[in-house]
Amino acid sequence: MYKPLFDHIGKFVNLEASDIDKLKSCLELSKIKKKEHVLIEGQVCNTIYFVIKGCMRQYIINSKGAEQTLQFGIENWWITDYLSYHNHVPSSFYLQAVENTEVIAIDKTVLEALLTEIPSLERYFRIVSQKTFGAMQMRIKFLFTMSAEERYHHFNDHFPEFVQRVPQYMIASYLDFSAEFMSKIRAGKI
């Protein structure tokens, strides 16, 4: 049941059998119901989540009271508020399940201890977070250079199933335009 995580780790590093056991003994599967939060604004985030099944999102509530999705986390993604996690400061974000979701939730103190014990695991997280950072650099590029319509088509071309999977208004805010505008793009009225 932790297989997806060990498969993912195996893509980047080789863990010894003893390390796998050690890690396994610290893991716990948790189920999060659709719309349930695992983090709300103002809380300090002390947990990191690996999505086994389902979908999580990170969002904020803007000055007009509207939700804006900043990040999704689907199968085989880690999701957390890294700034709150590392600096022990109150989070600016909400972390919520978009669907009924199964995650492996690892507490910071548990994870930090594991990382010191298992250098390969440290390596895994280093590689994954650098790659994720690289993806974020590309995202900034797309946000800066493409029009709203281009962003929609680009995203839809790359992740067609995902666009079907979550509400349109979440995709719209993730791509930084209004839900109404997305509706018009889809209808070809732009």
Q: Which residues bind a second copy (CB under 8 A)?
A: 58, 60, 62-63, 68, 70-71, 81-87, 92-93, 115-116, 119, 122-123, 125-127, 129-141, 143-145, 173, 176
- DSSP SS3 for 46: coil
Please, which residues have CB within 8 angstroms of residue 150's CB and are 6 or more apart in sequence? Answer: none
Rounded to a whole number, what is the largest CA-CA distance in the chain?
59
Asked whether the beta carbons of 129 and 27 are under 8 A apart, the reply is no
Instruction: Write the binding mask 144 to 173 for DNA: x where contact by CB under 7 A, - elsewhere.
Output: ---xxx-----------------xxx----
Q: Would you state the structure tokens that stand for residue 66, as one six-digit string?
A: 């509207």
Q: Is 183 an interacting residue with respect to DNA (CB under 7 A)?
A: yes
Q: Is 87 an interacting residue with respect to DNA (CB under 7 A)?
A: no
- Residue whose CB is less far from a second copy, 109 or 130: 130
- Integer distance in angstroms from the first to the last C-alpha of the chain? 46
Alpha-carbon dihedral of residues 157, 68, 141, 136, nearest 10 degrees? -90
Q: Is 86 an interacting residue with respect to DNA (CB under 7 A)?
A: no
Rounded Cα distance, 90 and 67, in Å: 19
- Residue whose CB is less far from a second copy, 17 or 133: 133
- Residue whose CB is less far from a second copy, 50 or 85: 85
The one of a second copy, DNA, none whose footprint includes residue 101, by CB under 5 to 8 A per kind, is none
The secondary structure of residue 99, as a DSSP letter, is S
Interface residue with DNA among 17, 64, 133, 135 (CB under 7 A) is: 64
- Residue whose CB is less far from DNA, 69 or 80: 69
Asked whether the beta carbons of 19 and 103 are under 8 A apart, the reply is no
Q: Is 142 an interacting residue with respect to DNA (CB under 7 A)?
A: no
By CB under 7 A, name the binding residues for DNA: 64, 147-149, 167-169, 176-184, 186-187, 189
